[in-house]
Amino acid sequence: MRGLKIIVLAKQVPDTRNVGKDAMKADGTVNRAALPAIFNPEDLNALEQALWIKDNIPGTTITLLTMGPGRAADIIREGMFRGADDGVLLSDRAFAGSDTLATSYALSQAIRRIGEFDIIIAGRQAIDGDTAQVGPQVAEKLKIPQLTYVEEIKSVDESRIVVKRRLERGVEQAACNLPLVLTVNGTAAECRARNARLLMKYKHARTVSEMQSANEDYLHLYNDRPYLNITEWSVNDIESDPSQLGLNGSPTKVKKIDNVVLQAKESRMISSSDEDIEELMVELISSHAIG
Amino acid sequence: MNNLFVYCEIEDGAVAEVSLELLTKGRKLADSLKCKLEAVVLGSNLQGIEKQLFPYGVDVLHVADDPRLYPYQTLPHTSVVVKLFEAEKPQIALMGATSIGRDLGPRVSSALHSGLTADCTSLEIGDHEDKKAGVTYKDLLYQIRPAFGGNIIATIINPDCRPQMATVREGVMKKEILDENYKGEVKYLDVNQFVSPEEFVVEIIERHIEQSKVNLKGAPIIVAGGYGVGSRENFSLLYELAEVLGGEVGASRAAVDAGYAGHERQIGQTGITVRPKLYIACGISGQIQHRAGMEESAQIIAINTDPEAPINAIADYVITGDVAEVIPKMIRYYRKNTK
Ligand SMILES: Cc1cc2nc3c(=O)[nH]c(=O)nc-3n(C[C@H](O)[C@H](O)[C@H](O)COP(=O)(O)OP(=O)(O)OC[C@H]3O[C@@H](n4cnc5c(N)ncnc54)[C@H](O)[C@@H]3O)c2cc1C
């Protein structure tokens, strides 16, 4: 059996799970800069599925594709430390302000440039939006089928895949021919840890922009070891219709953002003392709120 | 033409709750737009399905009835909906934010190049003035949802592309029959005109639908835990309290992410919306996405070590203290006083 060509779609996201008090501004909004940028959790589940296929089908290669600012190269490196073969960073001001549709357009045009593939694997959704839209929108742009909410790959070969899908109410086992898009659920296997050998191999991997600010001493490395070059594409490197990119290419617009002012209710203050809690329980019982 | 469409889901011959909720909302929006409410149903053995739908005020029902259209499959359903929308040019299309709606909605929006807003918590009709371009748009769909970044709500619009698409979770809108005797028109689609055989590429080998073991929507009392509960072990205190009070256990997304509770228990904008008689929020800060799913509870008790936690502002009873200390006391004094 020949090896498969897999593209993993991944996003760098603000860590919405750790919005501690120090990340909150006085007006109740979040200081995004104070949040760590992380590999979107379900995209790591997606990467694990790709690595599982690579373990089982020798010769399989994994390319990680991400769209974002320059620092998003971090997640490409992170993917390489865990077993991805290479990555592409799609980065340009022209993509700024993209909604999910403009994002999926840019990603699908980058995929066309990457060329042949058998499977595209994405996380189900990103934690900064929870929309779950980009995977299916990419599949539609590429006119290929999709299997969403994948929890496990049951079998795969060069022409067909069988997966277990996790639905809201139950599970489904489904099969489909390649090529296709999979989106992977958080209930799927966790991504393996970094591999020490790969960490050594790729720790100096850089995009062109990053190399420009790299230490002179390292520059020769990038000539000697081509695998340390992370591909970086601007809008000029993909074929695109400008009217479908960025803010202009986004049908959805933010009309306004409102600060929610909480109308403080008249609340009863209760301490954790035995007397207070007993009094509360008695009151709730007599008002039939409980019991 | 230019009406409001609702894609209705079918499970075992019955229209899904979320679809009926959207029809109820859709009817009101259609009234303010003075347009018709149209529904689309795809499935198998659908004769008589209109009886379930017309009472919600559906004016036109499009039925695609074909054994191959049940259970749901992405490509054939996308094809039917896209081609129908191309012909009918709806101004608005609504879908449930379910396993099906979240699989289908993005494909349809991608094919039609129309904007899609996920997990709206409110839908309204309103105007928009684009001052730069000097254009005023009349009667747009305001797609309202909490935004990431704090205590903020975003209003999203699609000024130029049609249909304006939105998904809404089950339980967010209220289901209400308009008129038991409401009569609309049924239009049967010639399925072969819409779908080609190559689109049935997915083979569903096995399907196992289980009724969820967790019934949060119907629970009169919910004991919900957040990240502040601290561990899976501490969560067992919440199960104990829920059991004693005859309630169900819910969780915040942070608690689900931390592995303290299963995803099916998540309450909030991208989880379940609940309106119990009593909601006990344990170690939950009360971020807007969480509040979106519980703030209509009849009574709220907040248990939090932080006297300034935002949840306190919407609580009827604010207990300042540690979950691990307060909950055992609640159990003890409930038992003592109900013997
Ligand atoms: C797109 C998107 C969608 C989202 N959807 C949802 C959703 O559907 N549902 C949801 O819940 N969230 C959702 N969120 C996440 C939401 O923004 C918050 O991050 C989350 O609700 C916080 O959960 P929490 O209150 O449990 O955790 P935290 O905010 O960390 O709060 C923990 C609280 O516990 C208190 N505490 C700590 N220790 C104790 C103790 N021993 N005893 C008592 N109290 C203690 C702390 O004072 C604090 O108030 C979403 C976010 C995004 C970006």
Q: What is the pLDDT of residues A148-157, one digit of tens each?
A: 999 999 999 9
pLDDT for the residue numbered A20: 66
Query: With 80 as the cut, is the pLDDT of residue B194 above it?
Result: yes
ipTM of the complex: 0.94
Nearest-angstrom CA–CA distance, B48 and B257: 43
**Chain B contact present for A44, CB below 8 A:** no
**Residue A141 CA to its chain's centroid (Å):** 19
Quick: pLDDT tens for A57-82: 999 999 999 999 999 999 999 999 99
**Chain B contact present for A248, CB below 8 A:** no
- B329–A257: do the CB atoms touch at under 8 Å? no
CB B225 within 8 A of CB B247: no
Query: With 70 as the cut, is the pLDDT of residue B197 above it?
Result: yes
Of the given ranges (A58-62, A211-215, B274-278, B316-320), which has the lowest mean pLDDT? A211-215
CB B15 within 8 A of CB B32: no
The DSSP string of A1-32 is -PPPEEEEE--EEE-GGG--GGGB-TTSBB-G
> The tokens of B323 are what?
């979950």
As a whole number, mean pLDDT of residues A193-207 equals 96
Distance B285 CA to ligand 1 centre (A): 5
Mutate to test the pocket of ligand 1, among B223, B260, B290 (most ligand atoms within 8 A of CB): B290
Distance B253 CA to ligand 1 centre (A): 7
Distance from CA of B67 to the nearest CA of A (A): 18
Query: With 70 as the cut, is the pLDDT of residue A26 above it?
Result: no
pLDDT for the residue numbered A125: 97
- B156–A16: do the CB atoms touch at under 8 Å? no
pLDDT for the residue numbered A31: 75
CB A121 within 8 A of CB A50: yes
Neighbours of A20 (CB within 10 A): 8
CB B270 within 8 A of CB B249: no
As a whole number, mean pLDDT of residues A188-210 equals 96
Sheet holding A229-233, edge to edge: A206-207, A229-233, A86-90, A61-67, A5-9, A119-123, A180-184, A146-156, A160-167, A170-177, B203-208
As a whole number, mean pLDDT of residues B288-315 equals 96
Asked whether the CA dihedral A151, A155, A158, A161 is positive or negative, the reply is negative
**Residue B132 CA to its chain's centroid (Å):** 35
Name the percent of chain B lying above pLDDT 70. Answer: 100
| Among A1, A127, A131, A118, CA closest to A62 | A118
CB B178 within 8 A of CB B58: no
Confidence of residue A223 (pLDDT cuts 50, 70, 90): confident
Distance from CA of A38 to the nearest CA of B (A): 14
CB B214 within 8 A of CB B186: no
Confidence of residue A86 (pLDDT cuts 50, 70, 90): very high
Quick: pLDDT tens for B102-134: 999 999 999 999 999 999 999 999 999 999 889
Q: What is the CATH number of domain B4-200?
A: 3.40.50.620
Domain assignments of chain A as residue spans, ordered by start: 5-257
As a whole number, mean pLDDT of residues A25-41 equals 80
**Chain B contact present for A256, CB below 8 A:** yes
Query: A147: which strand partners?
Result: A182
- B201–A145: do the CB atoms touch at under 8 Å? yes
Q: Please tell me whether residue A278 adopts helix, strand or coil conformation.
A: helix
Nearest-angstrom CA–CA distance, B312 and B306: 9
Size of interface A-B (CB pairs under 8 A): 243
Which residues of chain B are within 8 Å of residue A250 when distances are taken between CB atoms?
115
Domains B4-200 and B221-338 belong to one CATH topology: yes
As a whole number, mean pLDDT of residues B313-317 equals 96
The crossing angle, in degrees rounded to 10, of helices B101-112 and A134-142 is: 50
Quick: pLDDT tens for B259-279: 999 999 999 999 999 999 999
Q: Looking at chain B, which residue has its C-alpha nearest residue A249?
A: B113
Residue with tokens 């995209």: A43
CATH fold, domain B221-338, is Rossmann fold (3.40.50)
Q: Dihedral of the CA atoms B145, B149, B150, B155 (nearest 10)?
A: -30
Confidence of residue B91 (pLDDT cuts 50, 70, 90): very high
**Chain B contact present for A38, CB below 8 A:** no
As a whole number, mean pLDDT of residues A260-283 equals 91
Query: B307: which strand partners?
Result: none
Q: In chain B, count H helices and then E strands.
A: 9, 18
User: Hey, whose CA ends up nearest to atom 36 of ligand 1?
Assistant: B228
Which residues of chain A are within 8 Å of residue B304 when distances are taken between CB atoms?
none
Of the given ranges (A265-269, B134-138, B191-195, B209-213), which has the lowest mean pLDDT? B209-213
Which residues of chain B are within 8 Å of residue A147 when distances are taken between CB atoms?
202
As a whole number, mean pLDDT of residues A119-138 equals 97
- Across chain B, mean pLDDT equals 96
Of the given ranges (A141-150, B121-130, B145-154), which has the lowest mean pLDDT? B145-154
Of the given ranges (A110-119, A200-209, A260-269, B213-222), which has the lowest mean pLDDT? A260-269
* Strand ranges (E), A225-267: 229-233, 253-259
As a whole number, mean pLDDT of residues A123-140 equals 96
Q: Which atom of ligand 1 is nearest to the CA of B268?
A: 8
pLDDT for the residue numbered A28: 62
| Among B250, B321, B248, B325, CA closest to B281 | B250
Nearest-angstrom CA–CA distance, B128 and B160: 11
pLDDT for the residue numbered A21: 66
Residue with tokens 């005797």: B181
Q: Specify the CATH number for A5-257; select among 3.40.50.720, 3.40.50.620, 2.60.40.2470, 3.40.50.2000.
A: 3.40.50.620
Name the percent of chain B lying above pLDDT 90. Answer: 94
Q: Angle B99-B101-B104 (CA atoms, 0-180°, nearest 5)?
A: 105
Answer with the residue of higher pLDDT: B310 or A19: B310
Query: Cβ < 6 Å from ligand 1: which residues?
Result: A 16, 19, 128-130; B 148, 226-228, 230, 252-255, 266-271, 283-285, 287, 289-290, 293, 303-306, 309, 322-323
pLDDT for the residue numbered A218: 73
CB A201 within 8 A of CB A225: no
Mutate to test the pocket of ligand 1, among B152, B169, B252, B256 (most ligand atoms within 8 A of CB): B252
Query: With 70 as the cut, is the pLDDT of residue A29 above it?
Result: no
Q: Looking at chain A, which residue has its C-alpha nearest residue B263?
A: A187
Domain assignments of chain B as residue spans, ordered by start: 4-200, 221-338
User: Hey, whose CA ends up nearest to atom 49 of ligand 1?
Assistant: B285
